[in-house]
Amino acid sequence: MNQNEVTLIRERFREKMNSDQLQNCMRCGYCLPHCPTFIISGGKETSSPRGRIALMRAVANGELEPDAEFEKIINECLGCLACESVCPSGVKYMELLEDARDIICQTRQYSAPVKLARKVIFKGLFKKQKNMDLFIGALNIYQKSGLRFIARNTGIMKLFPSSLVATEKVLPEVGSYKAIKNRPVRLPAEGEKLAKVGFFKGCLMDTMFITENNKTLKLLQKAGCEIEIPGGQACCAAIHGHSGEKDDAKDMAKLNIVAFENMDVDYIITNAGGCGAYLMEYDILFQHDPQWHDRAKKFVSKIKDISKILVELKFHERFKLKLPNQVMTYQDSCHLRNVMKTFNEPRELLKSIEGVTYVEQKNAHTCCGSAGTYSILHADVSMQILDAKMKNVLDTKATTIVTANPGCLLQMRVGIEREGLAKEMNKNGIKHMLSPIFLISSPHLLVRVCNLTILFV
């Protein structure tokens, strides 16, 4: 960090950081035992929410000079918001974190390769759905063409960080570009219509996880929802907001608000905790923009996770859900839990399935270490957190882990790979019984159950 950047960051902290929020932290430490990075660090205050807030405050007050270590400390936060959800004082940590990251990123003159990578990811891929579609299409070709086989077996992947390699292995088999494009914009309810909902597609969800998205839609229809899938939707922009690209985030948020604005729907349904939570914070994103703030508020008030609407519509009581006998456990998506406050519903759904023995894992509510791009940028910490998590998972003896966000899903698969379980399972030829992780919010699981129900009723 050069002197110019230091001065600018300092000035911008003073101007832009919400000093009431910084002051609001009374440093009670309630959040400490809930913070995964604090725990992994063995109790270092620089890895704690209280410490991070104190440093932000000191920089904003001009008492502390920001430096490379400051940047690292801010970036090492998972953004899981376990701290915010337990803070009795109601400190808006996410807002502080995003503002801090935005200031740092927008001020830093990153080296050329870092700049390029950021540009490709934030402006090229996630900001333009078409590019994302093409990228996913290419991934499909990569997976299908045998290129993957070559990549995996020539050792070329060794050149990449281990977490990335692991992630590459666990990516789902993606759909083709064509399949992504062919979908109606309106779907009727099956049976009696109980609600009218809009569906937020999500960029990764509608490409890499298109199967899940399609099944979510089926499930909603079965539950009695008429669905509108408006065009013009963009990525939720969580990845931009969390990584210090706030202006881009606002651009995309506007597109989403507009897409659903004139639509007469009761709810806007999401099926990925990370996206849903970010959509829910659009009002904070526009809090200083009177023109957009009210529109954002209206949008936010309609956001609901699929598991919640299924429970509200008593889907699990009206249909008999059944699966082959198995033990299941659930891994909370931090953002679904801490921001959308949805954690009972997924559990309730799972427990209602005949044949499923639900076992709660210890600390199911703590972050798995995926945290968006975190698992790639901070591989070491991420893997330490994951290993601790896998221990708890294995203790449950579950053969199926259920989670509610694509990032968590990939991360848990990495966990299974790391534990060497995947191979084991393949060898035993019971791959699909032992290892699959389902998204509860887009459950092939529940859809399969549904199908079974239809078969047996």
Q: Which of 259, 340, 338, 282 is nearest to 306 (CA)?
A: 340
Instruction: Say if residues 50 and 86 touch (Cβ distance below 8 Å).
Output: no
Q: Is 236 in the site for other proteins (CB under 8 A)?
A: no
Instruction: Give the shortest CB-19-to-other proteins separation in angstroms.
Output: 8
**Quick check: helix, strand or coil at residue 78?**
coil
Instruction: Give the shortest CB-80-to-ligand SF4 separation in angstroms.
Output: 4
Instruction: Give the shortest CB-287-to-other proteins separation in angstroms.
Output: 18
Rounded CA-CA distance 158/152 in Å is 9
Instruction: Say if residues 350 and 440 touch (Cβ distance below 8 Å).
Output: yes
The count of residues interacting with other proteins (CB under 8 A) is 31
Instruction: Say if residues 308 and 344 touch (Cβ distance below 8 Å).
Output: no
| Interface characters, 72-111, with other proteins (x: CB under 8 A) | -x-------------xxxx---------------------
Instruction: Give the shortest CB-346-to-other proteins separation in angstroms.
Output: 20
Q: Is 33 in the site for other proteins (CB under 8 A)?
A: yes
Q: Choose the one of other proteins, ligand SF4, none that binds residue 44, judging by a C-beta under 5 to 8 angstroms depending on kind.
A: other proteins
Instruction: Give the shortest CB-254-to-other proteins separation in angstroms.
Output: 31
Total Cβ atoms within 10 A of residue 93? 24
Q: Choose the one of ligand SF4, other proteins, none that binds residue 451, judging by a C-beta under 5 to 8 angstroms depending on kind.
A: none
Instruction: Say if residues 263 and 232 touch (Cβ distance below 8 Å).
Output: no
Alpha helix segments (H runs only) across 88-146: 93-107, 112-118, 129-144
Q: Choose the one of other proteins, ligand SF4, none that binds residue 81, judging by a C-beta under 5 to 8 angstroms depending on kind.
A: ligand SF4
Binding residues for ligand SF4 (CB under 6 A): 25-31, 34-37, 49-50, 52-53, 77-83, 87, 89, 91, 93
Q: Choose the one of ligand SF4, other proteins, none that binds residue 133, judging by a C-beta under 5 to 8 angstroms depending on kind.
A: none
**Quick check: helix, strand or coil at residue 186?**
strand
Order of all β-strands in the sheet with 195-199: 186-187, 225-228, 195-199, 267-270, 303-305
Q: Which of 450, 438, 344 is nearest to 398 (CA)?
A: 438
Q: Choose the one of ligand SF4, other proteins, none that binds residue 78, judging by a C-beta under 5 to 8 angstroms depending on kind.
A: ligand SF4
Answer positive or negative: Cα dihedral of 164, 334, 89, 298.
positive
Rounded CA-CA distance 378/375 in Å is 6
Rounded CA-CA distance 310/349 in Å is 8
CB closer to other proteins, 28 vs 147: 28
Total Cβ atoms within 10 A of residue 265? 18
CB closer to ligand SF4, 81 vs 306: 81
Instruction: Give the shortest CB-45-to-other proteins separation in angstroms.
Output: 4
Instruction: Give the shortest CB-70-to-other proteins separation in angstroms.
Output: 6
Binding site for other proteins (CB under 8 A): 20, 23-24, 26-30, 32-33, 42-46, 48, 51, 54-55, 58, 63-65, 67, 69-70, 73, 87-90
